[in-house]
A = this chain, B = another copy of it.
Amino acid sequence: MDRYDLVVVGAGPGGYVAAEHAAELGKKVLLIEKENLGGVCTNRGCIPTKSLLNSAKQYVHALDCGKFGVHCNDVSFCLEEAMAWKNETVETLRSGIQFMMKTKKVDVVFGEAVFVDNHHVKVGDAAYETQYLVLATGSSPFIPPIEGSTLPNVVTSDGVLGLERLPESIAIIGGGVIGIEFASFFSMVGVKVSVIEMMPEILPMMDGEFSKLMRREMKAVSFNLGCKVTAIKENGVQFINAKGEEKFIESELVLMSVGRRANIAGLEPLNLNVDRGAVVVDDHMRTNVDGVYAVGDINGRSQLAHSASRMAQVAVDDMFGARKASMNYDAIPWAVYGMPEASGCGLTQDGALKNGIEVKCATVQMRSNGRFLAENGKRASGLVKVVVDAMNGRILGLHMIGPYSSEMIWGAAALIEAGMTVDEVKDVVFPHPSVSELIKDACFALK
Protein backbone atom coordinates (compact mmCIF):
# COMPACT_ATOMS: atom_id res chain seq x y z
CA MET A 1 0.00 0.00 0.00
CA ASP A 2 1.38 3.41 -1.02
CA ARG A 3 1.88 5.79 1.89
CA TYR A 4 1.46 9.57 1.64
CA ASP A 5 1.79 12.54 3.93
CA LEU A 6 -1.32 13.97 2.32
CA VAL A 7 -4.07 12.66 0.10
CA VAL A 8 -6.23 15.32 -1.56
CA VAL A 9 -9.56 14.34 -3.06
CA GLY A 10 -10.76 16.70 -5.79
CA ALA A 11 -8.48 18.69 -8.11
CA GLY A 12 -10.28 22.05 -8.26
CA PRO A 13 -8.82 25.32 -6.96
CA GLY A 14 -9.07 23.95 -3.42
CA GLY A 15 -7.56 20.57 -4.12
CA TYR A 16 -4.76 21.36 -6.54
CA VAL A 17 -3.59 24.31 -4.47
CA ALA A 18 -3.52 22.10 -1.35
CA ALA A 19 -1.51 19.49 -3.24
CA GLU A 20 0.91 22.03 -4.69
CA HIS A 21 1.41 23.82 -1.39
CA ALA A 22 2.08 20.61 0.58
CA ALA A 23 4.46 19.40 -2.11
CA GLU A 24 6.35 22.69 -1.90
CA LEU A 25 6.77 22.03 1.81
CA GLY A 26 8.49 18.76 0.86
CA LYS A 27 5.58 16.44 1.55
CA LYS A 28 4.61 13.32 -0.38
CA VAL A 29 1.22 14.09 -1.89
CA LEU A 30 -1.44 12.18 -3.82
CA LEU A 31 -4.17 14.03 -5.71
CA ILE A 32 -7.29 12.04 -6.63
CA GLU A 33 -9.65 13.43 -9.28
CA LYS A 34 -12.63 11.69 -10.83
CA GLU A 35 -12.92 13.93 -13.91
CA ASN A 36 -10.61 16.75 -14.92
CA LEU A 37 -7.79 18.64 -13.28
CA GLY A 38 -8.96 22.14 -12.39
CA GLY A 39 -12.39 21.07 -11.20
CA VAL A 40 -15.52 23.08 -11.89
CA CYS A 41 -13.59 26.37 -11.86
CA THR A 42 -11.34 25.53 -14.78
CA ASN A 43 -13.62 23.22 -16.72
CA ARG A 44 -17.20 24.31 -16.17
CA GLY A 45 -17.14 27.49 -14.11
CA CYS A 46 -14.97 30.58 -13.70
CA ILE A 47 -12.71 30.14 -16.70
CA PRO A 48 -15.12 29.09 -19.47
CA THR A 49 -17.68 31.73 -18.44
CA LYS A 50 -15.05 34.47 -18.44
CA SER A 51 -13.87 33.33 -21.85
CA LEU A 52 -17.41 33.51 -23.26
CA LEU A 53 -18.06 36.85 -21.55
CA ASN A 54 -14.90 38.20 -23.15
CA SER A 55 -16.12 37.13 -26.58
CA ALA A 56 -19.49 38.78 -25.92
CA LYS A 57 -17.80 41.99 -24.75
CA GLN A 58 -15.71 42.06 -27.91
CA TYR A 59 -18.91 41.74 -29.89
CA VAL A 60 -20.56 44.63 -28.05
CA HIS A 61 -17.41 46.74 -28.45
CA ALA A 62 -17.37 46.07 -32.20
CA LEU A 63 -21.03 47.10 -32.44
CA ASP A 64 -20.48 50.18 -30.34
CA CYS A 65 -17.11 51.65 -31.30
CA GLY A 66 -18.39 54.24 -33.75
CA LYS A 67 -18.35 56.99 -31.17
CA PHE A 68 -14.61 56.51 -30.74
CA GLY A 69 -14.03 56.95 -34.47
CA VAL A 70 -13.82 53.23 -35.24
CA HIS A 71 -16.15 51.84 -37.85
CA CYS A 72 -16.93 48.35 -39.05
CA ASN A 73 -19.70 46.56 -40.90
CA ASP A 74 -21.45 43.19 -40.72
CA VAL A 75 -20.60 42.56 -37.07
CA SER A 76 -21.50 38.99 -36.18
CA PHE A 77 -21.06 36.58 -33.31
CA CYS A 78 -20.21 32.93 -33.91
CA LEU A 79 -20.95 30.78 -30.86
CA GLU A 80 -19.08 27.81 -32.25
CA GLU A 81 -15.86 29.82 -32.55
CA ALA A 82 -16.33 31.44 -29.15
CA MET A 83 -16.77 27.95 -27.70
CA ALA A 84 -13.65 26.74 -29.52
CA TRP A 85 -11.59 29.59 -28.04
CA LYS A 86 -13.07 28.80 -24.62
CA ASN A 87 -12.19 25.12 -25.00
CA GLU A 88 -8.63 25.95 -25.98
CA THR A 89 -8.30 28.21 -22.93
CA VAL A 90 -9.62 25.47 -20.66
CA GLU A 91 -7.29 22.88 -22.17
CA THR A 92 -4.28 25.17 -21.80
CA LEU A 93 -5.05 25.76 -18.15
CA ARG A 94 -5.76 22.11 -17.50
CA SER A 95 -2.45 21.06 -18.97
CA GLY A 96 -0.81 23.88 -16.98
CA ILE A 97 -2.11 22.31 -13.78
CA GLN A 98 -0.97 18.88 -14.95
CA PHE A 99 2.49 20.25 -15.69
CA MET A 100 2.62 21.96 -12.29
CA MET A 101 1.65 18.74 -10.49
CA LYS A 102 4.42 16.93 -12.36
CA THR A 103 6.96 19.64 -11.57
CA LYS A 104 6.02 19.62 -7.89
CA LYS A 105 6.14 15.80 -7.87
CA VAL A 106 2.51 15.39 -6.84
CA ASP A 107 1.15 11.93 -7.75
CA VAL A 108 -2.14 12.21 -9.61
CA VAL A 109 -4.68 9.38 -9.87
CA PHE A 110 -7.89 9.63 -11.88
CA GLY A 111 -10.90 7.81 -10.49
CA GLU A 112 -13.52 7.87 -7.78
CA ALA A 113 -12.12 8.00 -4.24
CA VAL A 114 -13.60 5.47 -1.86
CA PHE A 115 -13.06 6.42 1.77
CA VAL A 116 -12.18 3.63 4.19
CA ASP A 117 -11.36 5.74 7.22
CA ASN A 118 -9.49 8.97 8.01
CA HIS A 119 -6.17 7.44 6.98
CA HIS A 120 -7.17 5.15 4.14
CA VAL A 121 -8.58 5.80 0.68
CA LYS A 122 -9.07 3.51 -2.30
CA VAL A 123 -9.33 4.22 -6.01
CA GLY A 124 -10.46 1.09 -7.83
CA ASP A 125 -8.13 -1.67 -6.62
CA ALA A 126 -5.42 0.65 -5.39
CA ALA A 127 -5.33 1.45 -1.68
CA TYR A 128 -3.54 4.42 -0.14
CA GLU A 129 -2.53 5.25 3.41
CA THR A 130 -2.12 8.86 4.46
CA GLN A 131 -1.36 10.97 7.47
CA TYR A 132 -3.71 13.77 6.42
CA LEU A 133 -6.72 13.97 4.16
CA VAL A 134 -8.01 17.08 2.38
CA LEU A 135 -11.55 16.82 1.06
CA ALA A 136 -12.07 19.19 -1.86
CA THR A 137 -14.88 17.53 -3.75
CA GLY A 138 -16.64 20.78 -4.59
CA SER A 139 -20.29 21.25 -5.39
CA SER A 140 -22.86 20.62 -8.11
CA PRO A 141 -25.73 22.69 -9.48
CA PHE A 142 -28.88 22.28 -7.40
CA ILE A 143 -32.01 21.35 -9.27
CA PRO A 144 -35.04 22.15 -7.13
CA PRO A 145 -37.96 19.72 -7.31
CA ILE A 146 -40.13 21.89 -9.57
CA GLU A 147 -42.57 20.39 -12.05
CA GLY A 148 -40.81 20.13 -15.39
CA SER A 149 -37.29 20.63 -14.07
CA THR A 150 -36.07 17.52 -15.88
CA LEU A 151 -37.39 18.56 -19.29
CA PRO A 152 -34.78 18.67 -22.07
CA ASN A 153 -35.13 22.46 -22.43
CA VAL A 154 -33.83 22.89 -18.85
CA VAL A 155 -30.06 23.26 -18.47
CA THR A 156 -27.66 24.12 -15.67
CA SER A 157 -24.45 26.11 -16.14
CA ASP A 158 -22.81 22.84 -17.23
CA GLY A 159 -25.27 22.52 -20.10
CA VAL A 160 -24.98 26.14 -21.20
CA LEU A 161 -21.24 25.79 -21.62
CA GLY A 162 -21.79 23.03 -24.15
CA LEU A 163 -24.47 24.73 -26.26
CA GLU A 164 -24.05 24.30 -30.00
CA ARG A 165 -26.23 27.20 -31.05
CA LEU A 166 -27.71 30.27 -29.41
CA PRO A 167 -31.35 30.00 -28.37
CA GLU A 168 -33.72 32.76 -29.40
CA SER A 169 -34.69 33.27 -25.79
CA ILE A 170 -33.65 32.05 -22.36
CA ALA A 171 -35.36 32.23 -18.97
CA ILE A 172 -32.87 32.21 -16.14
CA ILE A 173 -34.17 30.97 -12.79
CA GLY A 174 -32.01 32.55 -10.09
CA GLY A 175 -30.39 35.98 -10.03
CA GLY A 176 -27.18 35.15 -8.20
CA VAL A 177 -23.71 35.59 -9.72
CA ILE A 178 -24.02 32.62 -12.10
CA GLY A 179 -27.48 33.65 -13.29
CA ILE A 180 -26.47 37.26 -13.79
CA GLU A 181 -23.26 36.45 -15.65
CA PHE A 182 -25.16 34.24 -18.08
CA ALA A 183 -27.93 36.84 -18.37
CA SER A 184 -25.23 39.32 -19.33
CA PHE A 185 -23.62 36.95 -21.81
CA PHE A 186 -26.83 36.00 -23.60
CA SER A 187 -28.23 39.52 -23.72
CA MET A 188 -24.94 40.87 -25.10
CA VAL A 189 -25.07 38.43 -28.01
CA GLY A 190 -28.68 39.25 -28.78
CA VAL A 191 -30.63 36.52 -27.02
CA LYS A 192 -33.89 37.60 -25.31
CA VAL A 193 -33.24 37.12 -21.59
CA SER A 194 -35.64 36.97 -18.63
CA VAL A 195 -34.38 36.53 -15.07
CA ILE A 196 -36.78 35.09 -12.50
CA GLU A 197 -35.62 35.56 -8.91
CA MET A 198 -37.45 34.51 -5.75
CA MET A 199 -35.87 37.20 -3.55
CA PRO A 200 -36.80 40.87 -3.84
CA GLU A 201 -33.41 41.70 -5.41
CA ILE A 202 -30.65 40.10 -7.49
CA LEU A 203 -27.06 39.56 -6.33
CA PRO A 204 -27.62 39.26 -2.57
CA MET A 205 -24.01 40.08 -1.65
CA MET A 206 -24.43 43.59 -3.10
CA ASP A 207 -25.74 46.71 -1.46
CA GLY A 208 -29.26 47.50 -2.65
CA GLU A 209 -28.28 50.60 -4.62
CA PHE A 210 -25.70 48.54 -6.47
CA SER A 211 -28.06 45.70 -7.39
CA LYS A 212 -30.51 48.29 -8.65
CA LEU A 213 -27.88 49.90 -10.88
CA MET A 214 -26.84 46.47 -12.19
CA ARG A 215 -30.40 45.83 -13.29
CA ARG A 216 -30.72 49.27 -14.83
CA GLU A 217 -27.49 48.85 -16.79
CA MET A 218 -28.54 45.44 -18.11
CA LYS A 219 -31.18 47.19 -20.18
CA ALA A 220 -32.03 44.32 -22.51
CA VAL A 221 -32.77 41.89 -19.68
CA SER A 222 -36.27 41.56 -18.18
CA PHE A 223 -36.02 41.10 -14.42
CA ASN A 224 -38.82 39.43 -12.47
CA LEU A 225 -38.17 39.79 -8.74
CA GLY A 226 -39.97 38.23 -5.81
CA CYS A 227 -41.28 35.54 -8.12
CA LYS A 228 -41.86 31.90 -7.24
CA VAL A 229 -41.52 29.42 -10.10
CA THR A 230 -44.35 26.93 -10.07
CA ALA A 231 -43.66 24.89 -13.19
CA ILE A 232 -41.39 24.65 -16.20
CA LYS A 233 -42.99 23.83 -19.53
CA GLU A 234 -41.49 22.95 -22.87
CA ASN A 235 -42.00 26.52 -24.03
CA GLY A 236 -41.23 28.52 -20.88
CA VAL A 237 -41.59 29.13 -17.18
CA GLN A 238 -44.70 29.56 -15.08
CA PHE A 239 -44.44 31.57 -11.87
CA ILE A 240 -46.30 33.65 -9.32
CA ASN A 241 -45.09 37.21 -9.30
CA ALA A 242 -44.60 39.57 -6.34
CA LYS A 243 -48.24 40.65 -6.56
CA GLY A 244 -49.44 37.05 -6.31
CA GLU A 245 -50.44 36.88 -9.98
CA GLU A 246 -49.77 33.80 -12.09
CA LYS A 247 -47.47 34.62 -15.04
CA PHE A 248 -45.80 32.79 -17.88
CA ILE A 249 -42.60 33.72 -19.69
CA GLU A 250 -42.07 32.06 -23.03
CA SER A 251 -38.53 30.91 -23.66
CA GLU A 252 -36.75 28.37 -25.76
CA LEU A 253 -34.25 27.46 -23.05
CA VAL A 254 -34.42 27.53 -19.23
CA LEU A 255 -31.26 27.95 -17.18
CA MET A 256 -31.52 26.67 -13.64
CA SER A 257 -29.11 28.64 -11.47
CA VAL A 258 -30.60 28.65 -7.99
CA GLY A 259 -27.48 27.55 -6.19
CA ARG A 260 -24.97 24.77 -5.77
CA ARG A 261 -24.87 21.93 -3.26
CA ALA A 262 -21.76 20.43 -1.67
CA ASN A 263 -20.70 17.05 -3.02
CA ILE A 264 -20.77 14.95 0.15
CA ALA A 265 -22.01 11.62 -1.16
CA GLY A 266 -19.59 8.82 -0.30
CA LEU A 267 -18.09 10.56 2.70
CA GLU A 268 -20.20 8.55 5.17
CA PRO A 269 -17.41 6.20 6.33
CA LEU A 270 -15.56 9.25 7.71
CA ASN A 271 -18.37 10.12 10.16
CA LEU A 272 -18.01 13.85 9.52
CA ASN A 273 -20.19 16.47 11.11
CA VAL A 274 -22.47 17.80 8.39
CA ASP A 275 -24.72 20.83 8.74
CA ARG A 276 -27.21 21.97 6.11
CA GLY A 277 -25.62 19.69 3.56
CA ALA A 278 -22.02 20.91 4.05
CA VAL A 279 -19.08 19.56 6.03
CA VAL A 280 -18.52 21.51 9.24
CA VAL A 281 -15.01 22.99 9.60
CA ASP A 282 -13.24 25.36 11.98
CA ASP A 283 -11.17 28.37 10.87
CA HIS A 284 -8.22 26.08 10.11
CA MET A 285 -10.44 23.93 7.85
CA ARG A 286 -10.30 21.03 10.31
CA THR A 287 -13.33 18.78 10.38
CA ASN A 288 -14.41 16.92 13.53
CA VAL A 289 -12.33 13.93 12.43
CA ASP A 290 -8.65 13.85 13.28
CA GLY A 291 -6.39 14.59 10.31
CA VAL A 292 -9.29 15.33 7.93
CA TYR A 293 -9.69 18.80 6.44
CA ALA A 294 -12.38 20.10 4.11
CA VAL A 295 -11.76 23.04 1.78
CA GLY A 296 -13.80 24.84 -0.85
CA ASP A 297 -17.48 24.43 -1.73
CA ILE A 298 -17.75 21.21 0.27
CA ASN A 299 -17.76 23.15 3.55
CA GLY A 300 -20.27 25.73 2.36
CA ARG A 301 -18.46 28.69 3.95
CA SER A 302 -17.66 30.66 0.79
CA GLN A 303 -18.43 29.24 -2.64
CA LEU A 304 -15.68 31.03 -4.51
CA ALA A 305 -12.67 29.55 -6.27
CA HIS A 306 -10.23 31.89 -4.53
CA SER A 307 -11.78 31.12 -1.15
CA ALA A 308 -11.14 27.44 -1.85
CA SER A 309 -7.50 28.17 -2.73
CA ARG A 310 -7.03 30.23 0.41
CA MET A 311 -8.66 27.54 2.54
CA ALA A 312 -6.25 25.04 0.99
CA GLN A 313 -3.28 27.16 2.05
CA VAL A 314 -4.68 27.58 5.54
CA ALA A 315 -5.31 23.83 5.87
CA VAL A 316 -1.88 22.80 4.60
CA ASP A 317 -0.13 25.39 6.78
CA ASP A 318 -2.07 24.01 9.72
CA MET A 319 -0.72 20.52 8.97
CA PHE A 320 2.82 21.20 7.90
CA GLY A 321 3.55 24.92 7.88
CA ALA A 322 5.81 27.01 10.05
CA ARG A 323 3.35 29.92 9.85
CA LYS A 324 -0.16 29.10 11.04
CA ALA A 325 -2.99 31.16 9.62
CA SER A 326 -6.71 31.06 10.03
CA MET A 327 -9.38 31.77 7.49
CA ASN A 328 -10.56 35.37 7.49
CA TYR A 329 -13.89 35.81 5.73
CA ASP A 330 -13.90 39.61 6.12
CA ALA A 331 -11.57 40.33 3.22
CA ILE A 332 -12.64 37.97 0.46
CA PRO A 333 -13.25 39.83 -2.79
CA TRP A 334 -15.87 38.81 -5.31
CA ALA A 335 -16.49 39.91 -8.87
CA VAL A 336 -19.27 39.70 -11.42
CA TYR A 337 -17.74 39.64 -14.89
CA GLY A 338 -20.70 40.75 -16.96
CA MET A 339 -21.32 44.09 -18.57
CA PRO A 340 -21.09 46.12 -16.43
CA GLU A 341 -18.52 44.47 -14.26
CA ALA A 342 -18.92 44.66 -10.52
CA SER A 343 -16.84 43.69 -7.53
CA GLY A 344 -16.74 44.05 -3.82
CA CYS A 345 -14.78 43.14 -0.74
CA GLY A 346 -15.79 43.19 2.90
CA LEU A 347 -18.83 44.66 4.55
CA THR A 348 -21.70 46.34 2.68
CA GLN A 349 -23.75 49.18 4.14
CA ASP A 350 -26.78 46.87 4.21
CA GLY A 351 -24.70 44.22 5.96
CA ALA A 352 -23.52 46.70 8.57
CA LEU A 353 -27.09 47.80 9.25
CA LYS A 354 -28.21 44.19 9.59
CA ASN A 355 -25.42 43.37 12.02
CA GLY A 356 -25.64 46.56 14.05
CA ILE A 357 -22.17 47.76 13.07
CA GLU A 358 -21.86 51.53 13.09
CA VAL A 359 -20.32 52.62 9.78
CA LYS A 360 -19.82 55.67 7.62
CA CYS A 361 -20.28 55.29 3.88
CA ALA A 362 -19.64 57.36 0.78
CA THR A 363 -20.58 56.61 -2.81
CA VAL A 364 -19.09 58.37 -5.83
CA GLN A 365 -20.27 58.32 -9.44
CA MET A 366 -17.79 56.97 -11.97
CA ARG A 367 -18.69 59.65 -14.47
CA SER A 368 -16.70 62.15 -12.42
CA ASN A 369 -13.55 60.24 -13.41
CA GLY A 370 -11.31 61.19 -16.33
CA ARG A 371 -10.44 57.77 -17.65
CA PHE A 372 -14.00 56.52 -17.24
CA LEU A 373 -15.25 59.49 -19.24
CA ALA A 374 -12.63 59.05 -21.95
CA GLU A 375 -13.53 55.39 -22.41
CA ASN A 376 -17.29 55.45 -21.71
CA GLY A 377 -18.67 58.95 -22.04
CA LYS A 378 -20.70 61.12 -19.73
CA ARG A 379 -23.92 59.16 -20.12
CA ALA A 380 -22.39 55.95 -18.75
CA SER A 381 -22.87 54.84 -15.16
CA GLY A 382 -20.76 53.30 -12.46
CA LEU A 383 -20.34 53.54 -8.70
CA VAL A 384 -17.67 53.19 -6.07
CA LYS A 385 -18.62 52.95 -2.42
CA VAL A 386 -16.49 52.78 0.66
CA VAL A 387 -17.69 51.47 4.03
CA VAL A 388 -15.73 52.58 7.07
CA ASP A 389 -15.85 51.72 10.76
CA ALA A 390 -17.39 54.78 12.44
CA MET A 391 -15.30 54.20 15.58
CA ASN A 392 -11.76 53.90 14.24
CA GLY A 393 -11.93 54.86 10.56
CA ARG A 394 -10.83 51.45 9.31
CA ILE A 395 -11.93 50.44 5.83
CA LEU A 396 -14.42 47.59 6.22
CA GLY A 397 -15.76 47.38 2.70
CA LEU A 398 -15.24 48.58 -0.86
CA HIS A 399 -17.73 48.01 -3.65
CA MET A 400 -17.83 48.96 -7.32
CA ILE A 401 -19.76 48.69 -10.52
CA GLY A 402 -18.02 49.68 -13.72
CA PRO A 403 -15.06 48.88 -15.97
CA TYR A 404 -11.96 47.27 -14.42
CA SER A 405 -13.86 46.52 -11.17
CA SER A 406 -12.66 42.94 -11.08
CA GLU A 407 -9.01 43.96 -11.49
CA MET A 408 -9.05 46.87 -9.03
CA ILE A 409 -10.62 45.00 -6.11
CA TRP A 410 -7.51 43.09 -5.01
CA GLY A 411 -6.17 46.28 -3.45
CA ALA A 412 -9.28 46.46 -1.28
CA ALA A 413 -8.60 42.94 -0.02
CA ALA A 414 -5.04 44.04 0.78
CA LEU A 415 -5.99 47.17 2.66
CA ILE A 416 -8.82 45.54 4.60
CA GLU A 417 -6.45 42.71 5.51
CA ALA A 418 -3.84 45.30 6.55
CA GLY A 419 -6.38 47.19 8.65
CA MET A 420 -5.79 50.49 6.84
CA THR A 421 -7.83 53.55 7.83
CA VAL A 422 -9.44 56.12 5.59
CA ASP A 423 -6.78 58.67 6.48
CA GLU A 424 -4.08 56.24 5.43
CA VAL A 425 -5.80 55.60 2.11
CA LYS A 426 -6.03 59.36 1.56
CA ASP A 427 -2.23 59.42 1.74
CA VAL A 428 -1.91 56.77 -0.96
CA VAL A 429 -1.04 58.15 -4.41
CA PHE A 430 -3.34 56.75 -7.10
CA PRO A 431 -2.24 56.78 -10.74
CA HIS A 432 -3.85 59.41 -12.94
CA PRO A 433 -5.82 58.96 -15.08
CA SER A 434 -7.25 55.69 -13.81
CA VAL A 435 -10.68 54.52 -12.77
CA SER A 436 -9.05 53.41 -9.53
CA GLU A 437 -8.78 57.07 -8.46
CA LEU A 438 -12.47 56.84 -7.57
CA ILE A 439 -11.51 54.71 -4.55
CA LYS A 440 -9.57 57.65 -3.21
CA ASP A 441 -12.38 60.04 -4.18
CA ALA A 442 -14.83 57.92 -2.18
CA CYS A 443 -12.53 58.18 0.84
CA PHE A 444 -12.35 61.97 0.47
CA ALA A 445 -16.13 62.14 0.04
CA LEU A 446 -16.68 60.64 3.52
CA LYS A 447 -18.11 63.12 5.96
Contacts and interface: CB of A to CB of B under 8 A. Distances in A.
Interface of A: 13, 41-42, 46-47, 50-51, 54-55, 58-59, 61-62, 65-86, 88-89, 92-93, 96, 304-307, 309-310, 313, 323, 325, 328, 331-335, 343, 368, 370-371, 373-375, 377-378, 404, 406-415, 417-418, 420, 423-437, 439
Q: Which 4 A-B pairs have the closest CB atoms?
A: A411-B411, A69-B82, A69-B81, A72-B72
Nearest to A420: B418
A431 B69 contact: no
Nearest to A335: B431
B69 A79 contact: yes
A412 B435 CA distance: 15
15 contacts: A46-B432, A55-B69, A70-B78, A71-B76, A73-B74, A86-B374, A96-B368, A306-B430, A306-B432, A331-B428, A407-B408, A407-B434, A410-B436, A414-B418, A418-B418
A75 B430 CA distance: 35
A429 to B, nearest CB: 5
A420 B414 contact: yes
Nearest to A313: B426
Given A55-B70, A70-B75, A431-B409, A414 B404 contact: no
Interface class of chain A by DSSP: helix
A309 B431 CA distance: 10
Nearest to A51: B374
A331 B407 contact: no
A50 B309 contact: no
Contacts of A334: 431
Given A58-B70, A69-B84, A408-B407, A432 B13 contact: yes
A19 B85 CA distance: 52
A331 B430 CA distance: 9
A414 B415 contact: yes
Contact of A68 (B85, B343, B410): B85
Contact of A72 (B62, B96, B414, B433): B62
A432 B85 CA distance: 19
B70 A85 contact: no
